[in-house]
Structure 1
Amino acid sequence: QYDRQEDGSMPELPHRNLDTGMGLERMAAILQHKSANYDGDLMQSLIALGEKISGKKYVADDYSGASRSLRIIADHARAVDFMISDGILPGNEGREYVLRRLLRRAVFHGRLLGIEDAFLTTFIDEVNRLMGEAYPELLKNVALVKGIVSAEEERFSQTLDNGRSYLDAAIAGLAEGTELPGEVAFKLHDTYGFPIDLTVEISEACGHEVDMAAFDACMTEQKERARAAANRDAWGDFNNVWTALSDKLAATDFRGYDEESCEAKVLAIVSEGCEVASAAEGSEVEVVLDATPFYAEMGGQCGDTGVMRCDGATLRVTDTKGKGSLYAHVCVVEQGTLEVGATVTATIDHGRRELIRRNHTATHLLDAALKQVLGEHVSQAGSLVEPGRLRFDFTHFEAMTADELERVEGLVNAEIFAAEPIVTRVMSLEDARATGAVALFGEKYGDVVRVVSTGESDAPFSRELCGGTHARNTADLGFFKIISESSVGSNARRIEAVTSAGAIEYVDERLAQMSEVAAQLKCRPADVTERVASLMRELRDTQKKLEAATTGAGSDKVAAAFKSAVDHDGYKLVVARLDGLAGKDMRSAWDGIRDAANGEPVACVIASATPDGKVALLAGATDAAVASGFAAGNVVKAIAGLVGGRGGGRPNMAQAGGSDVSGIDAALEAAKKELGL
């Protein structure tokens, strides 16, 4: 509002209500007599860490190259730490996408600085050291933040590695001084997720400009295709029968919270996408009623089934779907003819609805339990509620442990056994948020919402905004059992579970399977674990004996290979082809050669055409052979390319794989030459 002058006067600003940008960091920079935020002590500490990791030097007045990348990494690492600590996880929409872009941009600039290994968690530690005291929320879930950052960095690094392989191959095929085609750069961007900036950087380092005009043309063409497809879809939705019906019919009155049967008037009948006046016996149609007890599929809860009856017609309702403000009852006319204007009695399948109610309530209990066990970052990312099971997707960066799953099950079952009533209240959205009710991020809610809580307490185990149908009491669920936990994408997990009748059916099935296994193992069900462990030990012993017979010192192949050994520089050297051994068997073959040497210095270079048509190479040596000059890693590195592979390792042990079986003999000859034979 005011502009304080040197003499102390404060005239009003000529333009009020403008953000001056004088935030904490700029004020700190001024007080530290710095000309930019990045020159303040906070950022300088992070930049110094980047210098240490990358080996590059930061220059304050250089706004390109390494200095720019060091600034970006410092800034983005801090932002990433704060965002994840605030409960945001990397994703593909909204603020989650902003986080992912920041994190990936930091990794990308790390690559530009020559940092090939993971490094961002080191910055997270430094941000926490610098700012953890002032912002204690940074220190609450350090392991979670570092786990998410590490997983995301690893995934993007793999993307960069895959794209780099494609780019290197494309550059290798270019004549000196020619441009990298824009189509290649676009494929890297579109298929591999490889940043165009990195493509330009690498290409220019190899002496090739990128045809950016062609790249931009490909980008424009893709956007036009996407826009055209979106327009077609939008026009298709706008021009269908349901849009027309929504314009002329009032919204369906849903009475299913309190009623399982009601009388209703048939407002419309739709057959094969067209509005019709009647439906004869055997027809499959969608029926619109003015009121209904049938819940239409939404919010993860499946649609109700049941029957409709009127004078002269009976319809079996196989599903109910939401069409904007209208409910479409998917029906088969089993008897008679249904006409628009008829009055019907609509009745849901009571037993099916009860099972759905219980599973829907279980998803709320599960959500609350996951937040308690894993942390407040857990957020619902999708669900499916059916009569026989429930599926719940949630944000989390790693697989749950057996202990975590057990704790979640225990919390849910404790609420079930507590027999808490399910309390539903209708209130304003503002009041609902004030109660702490959980709302789905990104979901659009009206001014008035339903809030579902477990119990009358001011701080219930679960309280969520929800329009679905629910059990009347947690005890209705019987008990809750998780049947699987899996990944459904980056930072998203899925739990499938059962309750009540579904849980009993699941347990009965597993007990029957256990009894069948016990019968086959000829033991009691309680002894199955011990019996299986005993059989596994026997199997391992048998496999070891078989392996020793195939690749050990007493095997024919190893014995023949050792007989071919030559004395070389103070140790015995075996160079041999042992076809038929898989890659995992090569070390056993080396153990056999070493055992056959009976304590004498020995080294080997062996190769095999594996059973799956690939090549396995191994070079091994005793310590005495290494001391005499044998270097396994150097040998394998020198010959792996002849079999279409790459490899290396330590002086006493190195392995490689390859794809060209025809090159094995040449590789072994090259090994002899490398060793001076």
Structure 2
Amino acid sequence: ATDPVIHKIVPTLVKEMGQAYPELVRGEQMIEETVRLEEQRFLKTLSRGLVILDEATASLKEGDMLEGVTAFKLYDTYGFPLDLTQDALRTRGINVDLSGFEDAMARQRAEARKSWAGSGEASEDKVWFAVADQVGPTEFLGYETETAEGAVTALVKGGAVVEELKAGDEGYVVLNQTPFYGESGGQVGDTGTLTGEGIAATVLDTVKNSGVFGHKVKVTEGTIKVGTPLALIVDHERRSAIRANHSATHLLHEALRLVLGDHVAQKGSLVSADRLRFDFVDTKPITPQELAQVEEIANDIVLQNSPVETRLMGVEEAKESGARALFGEKYGDEVRVVSMGDPTGNAVGWSVELCGGTHVRRTGDIGLITVLGDSGVAAGVRRIEALTAKGARHHARANTNIVASAADVLHVGAHEVVSRIEALQENLKKAERSLRDANKKLALGGGGSAPASADETVNGVTYVGRAVEGISAKDVKGLVDAEKKRIGSGVVTVVLKGEDGRGTVAVGVTDDLTGKYSAGDLIKLATAALGGQGGGGRPDMAQGGGPDGARGAEAIAAVRGAL
């Protein structure tokens, strides 16, 4: 089959099982489209893989064996499953070296493990497990405050627990409590400072592993030891920007569901100080109109300036209340439920999600949400990126400046910039067409009749060879046709040296001579002279090219020599 068919059974599946699984009814259209696209992708993989398999086994005959490493390359590089390789070759009586396939698979896995272990992640994970066993989880104070005092409980450097960090050292400081948010749930870790008596350190990042918050620091003064009391101060401006971006992510999630449908579900996110990105389930790009609608809905809730409420609830109670949970995420017995947007007001959306991140106090604190665009990141997964607060304002100002500069250069008002550019583009196209026409006339000798000295007689055959510049590659065949028509009987070669230095060549043979000469054979000689290979077409017309357009005379001579 060349067209997807499996998706056609989805309506029957929903009809049979929709009562037991209501989510099937809600997501029927999305499920059917996803299945269709998946089968479509697999059919492309199958088609491509069969061609590659045929090439790889062209020299094999019945009773031979395909090397395991080749079968693995088909699987690993082109996504062609082993069982399909076996099925395709079974009809030809060819076996697959399964032992060799498994060996190649084992080598790849070993390399992957070696690469992962060499990255330092393995030792990092081990040390955090050890620290967690030794000192227990860190108490997080960051929902209520951005400053606190804490005592050092452990120090880590180079993937190992150490006794101290001295001035100039980089490492991780673990404390009994902290206001610093550790990277998790898509939200980046906090930065700031740690200070004590004769001690100063810059917090470059904060990570969270096994319930332990590790403050990645650069010690600038003194020595930090276990038990040292420290004052902890989070970078307020950066934290505020992160909070705005995280809350905006929730609003955009709800707005996407309202515009695109209930099938939209979060697949990942990144919340940093300078921007946010949100990955979600959908199969097709968002239209500019839909994107504008999503942005408008989210900003309506920002302008509402309603309180952002946070409650601690049991996980099942939270889900029953309608709080949205991230599919596949593991939650503890107690969860934080973040609510924003006034359902009784004029806002279109209402967001309630399970979330452990930091958020603004009121939706108005977000300031402004500007959606930058939409892109595809994986099969059935889209991504939008956005700015908030200062970032959104700076972006708007930059765009305003660009439009103002363009208006100044074009000597029109800002509202006329687009129409003026469109007019200039149309004028440019007309000028380019006129230039191409003039160059074609010039290439033909000024007006369509070439001087007699351009024609040669080779072995009783009229031969025309021309090296031209200033026309487009797609016009080369047209010149050959014009010359064939002019001479009536003969062979024509036209070589174009492009602006990039590459050569395009076309060879034409009039119909009365195709029994004696083939343009398909002659073109190979011409492209070889230009440093290229091959070329192809019909017996009366063929085209090719090569990297060295300056060797046009050699290409013309190569065809002449074949006559």
One-letter amino acid matched to 1:352:
R
TM alignment of 1:156-171, pairs within 5 A: 156-171=42-57
Partner of 1:527: 416
- TM-score using structure 1 length: 0.66
184-193 vs 160-169, which moves further: 160-169
How far did 1:168 drift? 3.1
In the TM superposition, residue 281 of structure 1 has moved relative to its aligned partner by 3.3
Change (3 A) 1:210 1:326: closer
Q: What is the aligned partner in structure 2 of residue 299 from structure 1? A: 185
Q: Residue 222 and residue 387 in structure 1: after superposition, are their counterparts in 2 closer, same or farther (change >3 A)?
A: closer
The change in CA–CA distance for 1:497 and 1:442 in structure 2 (over 3 A counts) is same
Cα distance per residue 1:428-460 (max 9 Å; x no partner): 111111122222222111111111111464996
Map residues 378-457 of structure 1 onto 2, 5 A cutoff.
378-455=264-341, 457=343
Give the aligned partner of residue 475 of structure 1.
364
Please tell me whether the aligned partners of residues 594 and 602 of structure 1 are also in contact (alpha carbons under 8 angstroms). Answer: no
Runs of 5+ consecutive residues of structure 1 not aligned to the other structure:
1-109, 566-573, 673-677
Output the CA distance in 2 between the equivalents of 1:221 and 1:360.
Answer: 42
Secondary structure (helix, strand or coil) at the match of 1:257 reads: coil
Segment of structure 1 superposing worse, 636-645 or 382-391: 636-645
Measured in 1, the distance between the counterparts of 2:496 and 2:59 equals: 31
Q: What is the match of residue 319 of structure 1? A: 205
State how far apart, in whole Å, the 2-side matches of 1:382 and 1:310 are.
Answer: 38
Contact 1:557 1:578 in 2 (8 A): no
Amino acid at match of 2:403: M
Task: Show the counterpart of 2:401.
Answer: 512
TM-score w.r.t. the length of structure 2 is 0.79
Aligned counterpart in structure 2 of residue 494 of structure 1, from 358, 380, 383: 383
For the residues of structure 2 that align with 1:312 and 1:585, how far apart are their CA atoms? 73
Aligned to 1:193: 79
Label 1:535 to 1:292 Cα distance change in 2 as closer, same or farther (>3 A). same
Show CA shifts across 1:218-242 (max 9, x none). 3455456657777899994488432
CA–CA distance in 2 between the matches of 1:484 and 1:392? 11
Greater RCO, CA 8 A, separation 6+: 2
Query: Is the CA contact 2:242–2:272 (under 8 Å) kept in the aligned structure 1?
Result: yes
Instruction: Supply the distance in 2 between the matched residues of 1:654 and 1:380 (Cα, whole angstroms).
Output: 55
Distance 1:232 1:578, change over 3 A: same
Contact 2:484–2:509 (Cα < 8 Å) also in 1: no
Q: Distance in 1 between matches of 2:429 and 2:284?
A: 31
Name 1:41's counterpart in structure 2.
none
CA contact (8 A) 1:428 1:447 kept: yes
The residue number in structure 2 matching 1:210 is 96
Correspondence for 1:544: 433
Secondary structure in structure 1 of the residue aligned to 2:193: strand
Cα distance in 1 for partners of 2:221, 2:318 equals 47
Alignment RMSD: 4.6
Q: CA deviation at 1:194?
A: 1.7
Superposition pairs for residues 139-178 of structure 1, below 5 Å? 148=34, 151-153=37-39, 155-174=41-60, 178=64
1:172 match: secondary structure: coil
Give, in whole Å, the separation in 2 of the partners of 1:666 and 1:170: 39
- Between the two proteins, the alignment pairs up a number of residues equal to 536
Output aligned runs, 1:256-405, within 5 Å: 256-405=142-291
Alpha-carbon distance, 1:334 to partner: 3.1
Mean CA deviation greater in 170-179 or 463-472: 170-179
State whether residues 558 and 593 of structure 1, in contact with CA within 8 Å, keep that contact through their aligned partners in structure 2: no
Moved more, 273-282 or 347-356: 273-282
Task: Encode CA deviations 1:72-120: one digit per residue, 9 max, x unaligned.
Answer: xxxxxxxxxxxxxxxxxxxxxxxxxxxxxxxxxxxxxx3xxxx4xxx11
Mapped partners of 1:139, 1:561: distance in 2: 73
% identical aligned pairs: 35
CA–CA separation in structure 2 for the residues paired with 1:578 and 1:436:
76
Q: Distance in 1 between matches of 2:95 and 2:251?
A: 57
| Distance in structure 2 (CA, Å) of the matches to 1:139 and 1:638 | 62
* CA distance 1:453–1:614, change in 2 (3 Å): farther
Deviates more, 1:544-553 or 1:136-145: 136-145
The alpha-carbon deviation at position 365 of structure 1 amounts to: 0.8
- Which residue identity lines up with residue 178 of structure 2 in the other structure? T
Cα 1:179–1:507 change in 2 (3 A) is: same
Which is worse superposed, 603-612 or 414-423?
Answer: 603-612
Change (3 A) 1:249 1:145: closer
Which residue of structure 2 aligns with residue 251 of structure 1? 137
